[in-house]
Chain A
Amino acid sequence: MLNEVTAKKVIDCALSLGADFADLFVERNRTLSVNLKSSKVDQITDGIDFGIGLRVLFGTKVLYGYTNSPAEDELIRVIRLLCAPDQRTATRTGPIAFRSEASSQRLPSPAAHGSDLEARIRLLRKIDELTRKQSREISQVSAHSLERHQEIELFNSHGLHATDLRLYTRIGSEAVATDGDQKDSAFYGPGASLGWEFAEGIDPAFIATEIARRAVTSLHAEPCPAGTMPVVIDHAFGGVIFHEACGHLLETTSVEKKASVFWDKKGEMIAHPAVSAVDDGTIAGAWGSLSIDDEGMPTERTQLIKNGRLENFMADYVGNLKTGHPRTGSARRQSYRFAPASRMRNTFIEPGPHRFEELIASIDRGLYARSMGGGSVKTGTGEFNFSVQEGYLIENGKISRPVKGATLIGTGPETLKRISMVADNFEIMAGMCGSVSGSIPASVGQPALKVDEILVGGAK
């Protein structure tokens, strides 16, 4: 996408102005989305984003710019603009000899080019049709497919030249249930770092059953009681608790500013011994997996917590410079518009020894959070919140009535110590994670967990 000669001249220019490091992130991104609403194909959008992100470091000071033009004079103009406030006598000089360190072996999937729109529409129509058949209370269904075909090319002043091709496919569906003037809704959105073949493996009947059941159950659920109680958080997207309560606090993006309650806790017990947690970019086809990260480093499996002890942080190049924690192939960004930052990939708590039923049976009165919505965290204090999309009361060791409107709040350090039982029913699920370097695909996962005590917000 950008020839080596131009890349070399641009990086040489940065070094000649006194920069300690420079890199270029070239991105061409094709996105195809198909939306179906009210049983009609509502919209199809197809487009191409192209741009180049230019990063220059003076010490640990990050200068970042981007442009849509690959022309040499434009790239040098941006570099000169970025370096102007810090320009100094060069400490490093070119010329750089690029070497290809890493590149994806993945081949483009013909399906990723949207050559068969009918296949997309057929799948969405099937989801729509099957969802409406689930209940007369289903009043609206929307379904969409999103495919992203991201080509990247990286050059840096250490001589790295890397390329990668990333395919993303996600199928999202929402059902609205209505009873009189009462409405409720539910969403389900599996995704993978694969081409359209991922969608071909999806069972539309499962999606239809899932979103219809959740929407109708929630429509008739009573408000959740408020107060402190034990909670069983089910597997798969339940992992958002770890993502929010702990994962963000283990990114060097927070650690380098001491804006994480865990910044100085490496080697210490920060969780119940039942808890072991991982951030893994290597799981084949998983939504948050990568071949190389957005700085060109091969991705890896990072053990974050082992039996309650903090083992590692997630670090990018700048995070490593600032904190000394080793790089983990975790540099990620939404697009060329963002400088990379240490971010999660597929983050999960590892399976434990218990059966799900044992967790439920251990509680006299509590909440079973069967499916979770999103959440957020203040990394500096560890305070998090996340919503329960589908919840049930637990009474006398059994799952009883459905409840709605529940929110769980707490702090990461406290909650991690209160996870007392971990089940064996592990699963991961696709989501989108928003932070300093934009919105990126990230999986969360876990087996079912029992948290002994957590504050549940509800309207009753």
Chain B
Amino acid sequence: MRKEIETTLDWAKKLGADESDVILNEGNALSLSAQQGRIETYKVTSSRLIGVRVIRDHRVGISYSEDLSADSLRSMVESALRLTQAVEPDENQSITLSGAPVIDTNPKTYREDSTPLEEKIKLTLHLEDEIKRRDPRTQAVPYNGYSEGESHSFYGNHLGLRVYEREKSFNCYTSALLKDGEKQALFYRSSNGRTFSELSPENAIQETLKFTGTLLEAKPLPTGKYDVIFEPDCFQALFSCFTGLFSAKAVKDGYSRFGNSMGEAIAHPELTLRDLPRYELGFHHTLTDAEGVMKTDLTLIERGKLVSLYHNSSTARHFGVKTTGHASRSPKGQLGTALTQLVMDPGTTPSDRLASGTVLRIFALDGLHAGVNTSSGAFSLAASGELLQDGVLVQGVKGITLSGNFFELIRNISGVGQTLIPTTGRGFFAPEIRFTGLQVAGH
């Protein structure tokens, strides 16, 4: 374990902390992008950040530093202890976990990769070249590139618990800005992997061109209500805006209405939602949470009924339950909660029934950071996609808004597909779901 962890914990004890824990994150990254057939940017970075949480008389203080010298570590601890004098006591926040060291060397999240730089440069140039070569309507490939990074995370607390986790990831992405007369369209796609060879640049290129081509010919729909199926990345993007409502912290702080809904039907009976930290097909395997608690599977919605919230140790104490191992905390931040890999159970609706009649398939949603109100559940977003009739393309669709309410969305379902589909990032797995009667504003 890193000596900075031990030094910081020693200082916390010497200077009067009752309890303390430390997170140290280190990372290296490389990124490349291309323009006009040449590498345009080449970025190499390394970073490190340490953060301490101290508790004295039930009061919590947090401080952090990017300087890991002994003097800075001491002054970081002093600062955190000073801040405890100004905050209110928090009887629920306590650092109590001890145990043997946890060293995560899971090959699913970290594998050695010796791909030479030349290969990475070649890939980056290829992502731009292929878009231009395959579609002469390409005006520009404004966003394309390759990135890789590895991170090492160390955790230690005053009770002797030590945790080490690491991960390495690779990513490539491309885009197409197509122009045909006055018509223009822009779309992009990416691919993730745990090694360079796991990347699928061909898939990113094909999907980019397919969706951009559809958007180039797309037009608005008449204003009205439509049945909608979201393409997986879009569904994840929208759904993820509201998953915080299942956090016990959001309930405790009065931001979520689910506090009084335990055991009640909040969604369609075919909807089951689980957080599976070690789901075999997922990208984000994680062993422990930010308090060092071993992560386990958790069901949030079981056949439409809310069966659990997700907790850290503080919210668990508040509600008188056991933590579910969903603590989150960065070196700079306070104790929070976070999910890992969400998986919905497959349903029973055959694909031809899902696609029957008129369906709006959405493959791009914009404005998610602003057009979503997590308190009320309302959302109103710019959207693009395809209008299908019995599975056959009628027209590409853009220049519309899609509006609804999350609490109604998860109830108003007419079919849940039989096959799980991963998102591009493999952090969310769901079957196709047909949502009924969403409001579209168009012409």
Residues of A bordering B, CB below 8 Å:
34-35, 37-38, 40-51, 60-68, 78, 81-82, 85, 117-118, 121, 139-140, 142, 176, 178, 181-185, 218-219, 223-224, 226-228, 254, 257-259, 261, 337, 339, 373-376, 378-381, 383, 385-387, 404-407, 409, 455-460
> Within 8 Å of chain A (Cβ to Cβ): is B257?
yes
Q: How many angstroms from the CA of A378 to the CA of B384 in the assembled complex?
A: 13
Tell me, yes or no, whether B441 is within 8 Å of chain A by CB: yes
Query: Which stretch, B42-50, B100-108, B191-199, B305-313, touches the partner chain A?
Result: B42-50
Cα–Cα distance between A226 and B382 once the two chains are bound (Å): 12
CA distance A219 to B405 in the complex (A): 14
A82 CB contacts on chain B under 8 angstroms: 42, 44
Cβ–Cβ < 8 Å partners of A85 in chain B? 39, 42, 117, 121
Interface residue count for B (Cβ, 8 Å)? 74
Write the nearest CB–CB distance from B400 to chain A, whole angstroms: 8
Q: How far is the CA of A67 from the CA of B46 in the complex (A)?
A: 6
Q: Which of B234-242, B268-276, B339-347, B372-380 is near enough to bind chain A?
A: B372-380
Minimum C-beta distance from B429 to chain A (A): 27
15 extra A-B contacts, CB within 8 A, seeds A47-B79, A376-B366, A409-B401: A41-B87, A43-B60, A60-B40, A64-B42, A67-B46, A68-B67, A82-B44, A183-B376, A184-B375, A223-B403, A385-B371, A386-B367, A387-B380, A455-B399, A458-B441
How distant is A52 from chain B, measured CB to nearest CB, in Å? 11
**Nearest CB in chain B to that of A53: its residue:** B45
Q: When the two chains form their complex, are residues A184 and B376 in contact, meaning their CB atoms are under 8 A apart?
A: yes
* Residues of B participating in the A interface, judged by any CB pair closer than 8 Å: 35, 38-48, 51, 60-67, 72, 76, 79-80, 83, 86-88, 117, 121, 139-140, 142, 177, 184-186, 220, 223, 253-255, 257, 260, 332-334, 366-367, 369-371, 373, 375-376, 378-382, 398-405, 439-443
Are A181 and B366 in touch, CB under 8 angstroms? Answer: no
Q: Is the CB of B79 within 8 A of A46?
A: yes
Task: Tell me what chain B mostly uses at the interface: helix, strand, loop, or mixed.
Answer: strand
Name A337's contact: one of B47, B369, B440 (CB within 8 Å): B47
Closest residue to A43 on the B side, CB-wise? B334
- Check if B441 sits within 8 Å of A50, measured CB to CB: no
Contacts of A227 in B (CB 8 A): 223, 441
Contact B373 A44 (CB under 8 A): no
Q: CB distance A68 to B254 under 8 Å?
A: no
Determine if B257 and A183 form an interchain contact, defined as CB atoms under 8 angstroms apart: yes
Rounded to whole angstroms, the CA-CA distance of A404 and B233 in the bound complex is: 27
Q: Assess whether B255 is in contact with A176, with CB atoms less than 8 Å apart.
A: yes
In the complex, the answer to whether A47 meets B369 with C-beta atoms within 8 Å is no
Shortest B369–chain A CB gap in Å is: 6
Q: Please give the distance in Å from B251's CB to the nearest CB on chain A.
A: 11
Contact B140 A405 (CB under 8 A): no
Q: Tell me which residues across on chain A come within 8 A of B257, comparing CB atoms.
A: 181-183
Nearest opposing residue in chain A for B75, CB measure: A48
Chain A residues, CB < 8 A from B373:
184-185, 404-405
Which residues of B are found within 8 Å of A47, using beta-carbon distances?
51, 63-65, 76, 79, 332
Residues in B neighbouring A374, C-beta threshold 8 A: 367, 369-370
Find chain B residues with CB under 8 A from A183 CB: 255, 257, 375-376
Which residues from B are CB-within-8-Å of A121? Answer: 86
Contact B382 A457 (CB under 8 A): yes
- CB contacts (< 8 Å) of B177 on chain A: these are 258-259, 380-381
Contacts A/B (CB < 8 Å), 6 sampled:
A47-B76, A183-B375, A387-B380, A456-B441, A459-B404, A459-B405
Q: Please tell me if the beta carbons of B66 and A226 are within 8 angstroms of each other in the complex.
A: no
Chain B residue nearest to A121 in the complex (CB): B86
Are B378 and A404 within 8 A (Cβ)?
yes
Contact B45 A337 (CB under 8 A): yes
Cβ–Cβ contact A407 & B253, under 8 A = no
Whether A68 contacts B367 in the complex (CB less than 8 A), given A44-B87, A409-B401, comes out as no
Closest to B142 in A: A259
For B404, list chain A residues within 8 Å (CB). Answer: 459
Verify B380–A406 contact, CB threshold 8 A: yes
6 nearest A-B pairs in the assembled complex, by CB-CB distance: A457-B401, A226-B441, A259-B142, A374-B370, A385-B382, A385-B367
Minimum CB–CB distance for B242 against chain A, Å: 12
Chain B residues closer than 8 Å to A139, beta-carbon distance: 254
Which residues of chain B have C-beta atoms less than 8 A from A456's C-beta?
Answer: 401, 441
Bound Cα distance from A218 to B374, whole angstroms = 13
Q: For residue A383, which residues in chain B have a CB less than 8 angstroms away from its CB?
A: 186, 366, 382, 398-399
Query: What residues on A are CB-neighbors of B255 within 8 Å?
Result: 140, 176, 183, 185
User: Within 8 Å CB of A140, what residues of B?
Assistant: 253-255
Tell whether A66 pairs with B45 under 8 Å between CB atoms, given A181-B257, A405-B380.
Answer: yes
Selected from B76, B88, B369, B403, the residue in CB contact (under 8 A) with A457 is: B403
Q: Smallest distance from the beta carbon of A404 to chain B beta carbons, Å?
A: 6
**A223 vs chain B, min Cβ distance (A):** 8
A219-B371 Cα distance, complex, nearest whole Å = 16
Residues of B within 8 A of A460 (CB): 439
When C-beta atoms are compared, the residue in chain B nearest to A38 turns out to be B253
In the bound complex, CA of A257 to CA of B46 (Å) = 28
Query: Is the beta-carbon distance between B254 and A405 smaller than 8 angstroms?
Result: no
Check A373/B87 contact, CB under 8 A, given A339-B41, A381-B177: no
How long is the Cα–Cα vector from A373 to B403 in the complex, in angstroms? 16
- B residues near A385, Cβ cutoff 8 Å: 366-367, 370-371, 381-382, 401
Chain A minimum-CB-distance residue to B367: A385
User: Which residue of A is nearest B31, CB measured?
Assistant: A64
- CB pair A61–B399 under 8 Å, yes or no, is no
Q: Across the interface, which residues of A come within 8 angstroms of B117, CB to CB?
A: 85
A381→B442 CA distance, assembly (Å): 18
Whether B376 and A404, one on each chain, are in contact in the complex, defined by CB atoms closer than 8 angstroms, is yes
Measured CA separation A460–B380 after assembly (Å): 11
